[in-house]
Amino acid sequence: MTDPIADYLTRVRNAVSAKHRIVDIPASNIKKEITKILFDKGYILNYKFEDDTVQGNIKIALKYHPQSKVSAITSLKRASKPGLRKYASSSTMPRVINGLGVAIVSTSKGVMTDKEARRENVGGEVLCYVY
């Protein structure tokens, strides 16, 4: 697999479009950090890291509105790809839907959102956009 982050986003996107409650994803450290950010920002209901196999799994419980059954995740887009990396400094950090969405950035201080990167005054690789 050449792009595991794109695979992660595609699995979540497909589960949301199929209205699944839970999605299983092979684990890696960066995927775990992205999952924690999605949980902290309220895009997913819950998550669980299972280390029963060599690689491990991430179980993600997706979040839907109780009456209308609309997902909390409207869109997941990969920004930086293996063929074309996208980097941003703290001053040129992208705003997703004028601050309503979240850009997930891999910095020298770890994986964080665009707002946290601006506050910490660090730049890095823009991994994906979530709204």
Each residue's pLDDT tens digit, 103-125 = 999 999 999 999 999 999 999 99
Q: How many CB atoms lie within 10 A of CB 17?
A: 9
Tell me the mean pLDDT in the region 31-60: 95
Examine residue 53 and state whether it is found in any structural domain, yes or no: yes
Instruction: Classify residue 120 by burial, with Cβ atoms within 10 Å: 0-12, 13-18, 19+.
Output: middle
Examine residue 10 and state whether it is found in any structural domain, yes or no: yes
19 pLDDT more than 90? yes
Tell me the mean pLDDT in the region 24-47: 96
Task: Kindly state whether residues 80 and 119 are assigned to the same domain.
Answer: yes
Examine residue 33 and state whether it is found in any structural domain, yes or no: yes
Task: Kindly state whether residues 80 and 125 are assigned to the same domain.
Answer: yes
Task: Kindly state whether residues 86 and 49 are assigned to the same domain.
Answer: no
Task: Kindly state whether residues 93 and 122 are assigned to the same domain.
Answer: yes
Give how many domains the chain has, as a whole number. 2
Examine residue 70 and state whether it is found in any structural domain, yes or no: no
- Owning domain of residue 50: 4-62
Examine residue 69 and state whether it is found in any structural domain, yes or no: no
Examine residue 11 and state whether it is found in any structural domain, yes or no: yes
